[in-house]
Structure 1
Amino acid sequence: MSSVWCVQIGVCTCLIALMWWIMVHVCAPCKIFLGAQMSIGQRLREERERLGMSQERFAAVGGVQKRAQINYEAGDRAPDALYLEGIALLGVNVLYVVTGKREEQPAPSITADEQLLLESYREASPTLRKAALAALLSGSSAGHNGQSVVGDNAIQIGTMSGKARIKNK
């Protein structure tokens, strides 16, 4: 009985070792899960592939040769600030490449007029909001077929041929 027990333990140990080897050497997400963070080169390659670019094209945008890009991704060299500035123009998350931490991208900035409009809209009553939308939609024919209706079962505000109208049901 003890020899059977030893064989079972040996088989289990081999299976566990094999599973560990697969996770560490094959599965990149598992490496992150296990605490082994990706290198700068790996994150750089991930960003390049996310953008669907070849090493040669990506390198050119960063102002380097393809061989330098290969060295960066292999971890043999570290990119400099000018290279990172260049690839940032492509939409590469440079903070992620360098630190491994992703931050939410800030919303595009809006003008003071747009901010005032947004704040006023948020403070307005539902009826006033609908009227404001109708007025804005009636003034802009881009993308509209001449008819826009905003409302609910009680009030409908819309435009017909560029003229705003309010209809109470």
Structure 2
Amino acid sequence: MDFCYRLSEERKRLGLTQAAAAEICGVSREMWGKYERGAASPGCDVVAKFAAAGADVTYILTGRRERPASELTDRARLLAAIEAIEAGLGDKRLPPAKKAEAILLAYELLAEPAASRDNVVELIRRVA
């Protein structure tokens, strides 16, 4: 994953639309879209405003969470679990009941302080 993907992921984790994130950060919705597509890079002031709104800037910049997944809100942990399952499955498909079981397992795993999204993705890749 790269910067623009993580920026989008973090915006969604916060429950923001592109327009809302743009407004918070003092840029146009069009410019925010460029950030998420990788067509432009936000300046320090934009990143600082996004951090003030609750974004995990360490994660956006490095791919490593400032807080372990176990400290994320339930909604954010569920989103992280779903994204880990999607990343681990790639093009493979599971029946809905099996996918729901996998998401529940990933959700529970991400509650453990030592667990990370990368660990869950790797586990899913090995068993899928």
Structure 2: give runs of 5+ residues left out of the alignment. 69-128
| Of 7, 28, 50, the match for 2:13 | 50
Superposed, 1:39-118 pairs within 5 Å as 39-104=2-67
The 8 Å contact of residues 96 and 102 in structure 1, kept in 2 or not, is answered as yes
Structure number with bigger Rg: 1
**Partner of 2:114 in structure 1?**
none
Give the root-mean-square deviation of aligned CA atoms.
1.2
Q: Hey, what's the Cα distance between the residues in 1 that align with 2:41 and 2:63?
A: 15
Q: Deviations over 1:30-68 (max 9, x none)?
A: xxxxxxxx1111001001111111101101111110011
Structure 1: give runs of 5+ residues left out of the alignment. 1-37, 106-169
* One-letter amino acid of the structure 2 residue matched with residue 85 of structure 1: A
Higher strand share: 1
Number of aligned residue pairs: give it: 68
Higher helix share: 2
Q: SS in structure 2 opposite 1:44?
A: helix
- Offset at 1:99? 1.1
TM-score by length of 1: 0.39
Q: SS in structure 1 opposite 2:40?
A: coil
TM-score by length of 2: 0.51
The 8 Å contact of residues 39 and 75 in structure 1, kept in 2 or not, is answered as no
Identity of counterpart residues, as a percentage?
37
Q: Hey, what's the Cα distance between the residues in 2 that align with 1:47 and 1:86?
A: 13
Q: SS in structure 2 opposite 1:61?
A: helix
Deviant stretches of 4+, over 3 Å: none
The 8 Å contact of residues 48 and 54 in structure 1, kept in 2 or not, is answered as yes
* One-letter amino acid of the structure 2 residue matched with residue 39 of structure 1: D
* One-letter amino acid of the structure 2 residue matched with residue 84 of structure 1: V
